[in-house]
Structure 1
Amino acid sequence: MLQLTDVAKSYPTPQGPLFVLDGIDLHLAPGESLALMGESGSGKSTLLHLAAGLDVPDRGEIHFHERALSALDEPARADLRRRHLGLVFQQFHLVPSLAVIDNLTLQARLADREDPDWTDHLLERLGLTGLEQRYPEQLSGGQQQRLAIGRALAPRPDLLLADEPTGNLDEAAADRVLALLHELIHESRCALLMVTHSARVAAPLDRCLRLHYGRLEPGEP
């Protein structure tokens, strides 16, 4: 489903280019879950942004469903994200002026994939039934993160990209959100690429890789 081949990414500095990623090879099969670990600043989020087509590499190629992202212009990459990718970040990025139900269905509507039965199922599984007309500021942090996960899964994406999705939650709330995330991933049959610094968070996933000095290494949670 997702294939990165010899991917490199650098940023300019007064001393010359600083390579955050250099020679990255990665593959992810349909339905597989992969944890991407590494120290702060190791390039984990950069790799996730490249996989989502939010940024472009200096070198190498990224294929999604055998389509080269380099061959797509920005509108085409945005369409791919709407239809095939779900994105969950540490910051919830909910729309404050939209009620829970409208935040939940936002991505599905943009992708023309709204399914009322799946929406009702998500509301129940997320523990948000009865809160449909509340606004994000009226929810707890755990409820907001569950809503962000539901929004990403509402269009039934092929791949969910998650960047430290429970980093703003306490351990108990994080454990509840992660357990629910894995259950919903299984129910929707989508693949998962999750960036985390936590071995405990990475442990339930199928595989784990570590970023070290811009390169990927096999890792254990």
Structure 2
Amino acid sequence: MLEFRQVAKAYATPQGPLEVLAGVDLELAPGESLALMGESGSGKSTLLHLAAGLDLPDRGEVRLAGCAISSLAEPARARLRRETLGLVFQQFHLVASLSVRDNLRLQARLAGRERPDWTAELIARLGLGGLERRYPEQLSGGQQQRLAIGRALAPRPALLLADEPTGNLDETSAGEVLELMLALVREAGCSLLMVTHSPRVAAPLSRCLRLSRGQLAPHRPAERQPCA
């Protein structure tokens, strides 16, 4: 579903190039869930942006659903994102002028895969029943996060990319939202790559890797559970 082959990425700084990723190799199988951990500034979000084709590597290759992202022009990358990915970030990026229902339907419509039965199920499972006509500003933070997750899953994407999806929530709300997201990911049948700084959030996923000094830490079975 997702493959990184010797991917490198650096950014210009006044002190010279800052290498964020240095020859990263990564494979994510269909239906697999993977937590990516690391300290702030370690490159986790950069890796996620490369996986989504929102940025391009300096060297190496990123393949999404068998397609080499860096060989595609931006319109083709946008189409691949629309057809393959669901994206969830800390900032919810909900459309303020659209109701809860229309925000939820937006991504599925863009992908040409709107299913009223799945939309109705998402509204119920997300605890948004009776709120369909409200606008994002009328929702709590937890409700907005659930709506953002539902919007990403509405087209039943092949891969969900989530960047600290519970980072803005209190511990109780974060646990509830994470449990709901993982259940919906399983029901949608998609893979999951989630960036998190929290071992507790990472623990329920099937695999956990740590990004440090531009490289993924070697995976050893003894370190898989719990993620730390």
TM-score, normalised on structure 1?
A: 0.99
Aligned to 1:41: 41
CA–CA distance in structure 1, aligned partners of residues 197 and 79 of structure 2 = 30
CA–CA distance in structure 2, aligned partners of residues 13 and 161 of structure 1 = 28
Letter in 2 for 1:162: A
CA root-mean-square deviation = 0.8
Cα deviations across residues 124-174 of structure 1 (Å, max 9, x unaligned)? 100111110000011111100000000000000000000000000000000
Shift, 1:65, TM fit: 1.7
Letter in 1 for 2:106: L
Residues 1-221 of structure 1 aligned to structure 2 (within 5 Å): 1-217=1-217, 218=219, 220=224, 221=227
CA–CA distance in structure 1, aligned partners of residues 162 and 65 of structure 2 = 19
**Which secondary structure state, in structure 2, belongs to the residue aligned with residue 95 of structure 1?**
coil
CA–CA distance in structure 2, aligned partners of residues 197 and 209 of structure 1 = 11
**Which secondary structure state, in structure 2, belongs to the residue aligned with residue 109 of structure 1?**
helix
Letter in 1 for 2:61: E
Which 10-residue stretch deviates more, 161-170 or 14-23?
14-23
**Which secondary structure state, in structure 2, belongs to the residue aligned with residue 54 of structure 1?**
coil
CA–CA distance in structure 2, aligned partners of residues 13 and 129 of structure 1 = 48
Letter in 2 for 1:215: Q
Gaps of 5+ in 2: none
CA–CA distance in structure 1, aligned partners of residues 14 and 184 of structure 2 = 46
Cα deviations across residues 40-61 of structure 1 (Å, max 9, x unaligned)? 0000000000000000000000
Cα deviations across residues 49-88 of structure 1 (Å, max 9, x unaligned)? 0000000000000111211111210000001111110000
TM-score, normalised on structure 2?
A: 0.96
Letter in 2 for 1:94: L
Shift, 1:16, TM fit: 2.0
**Which secondary structure state, in structure 2, belongs to the residue aligned with residue 12 of structure 1?**
strand
CA–CA distance in structure 2, aligned partners of residues 7 and 128 of structure 1 = 40
Letter in 1 for 2:167: G
Letter in 2 for 1:161: L
CA–CA distance in structure 2, aligned partners of residues 107 and 115 of structure 1 = 11
**Which secondary structure state, in structure 1, belongs to the residue aligned with residue 168 of structure 2?**
coil
Runs of 4+ in 1 over 6 A off after TM superposition: none
Percentage identity across paired residues of the two chains: 73
Gaps of 5+ in 1: none
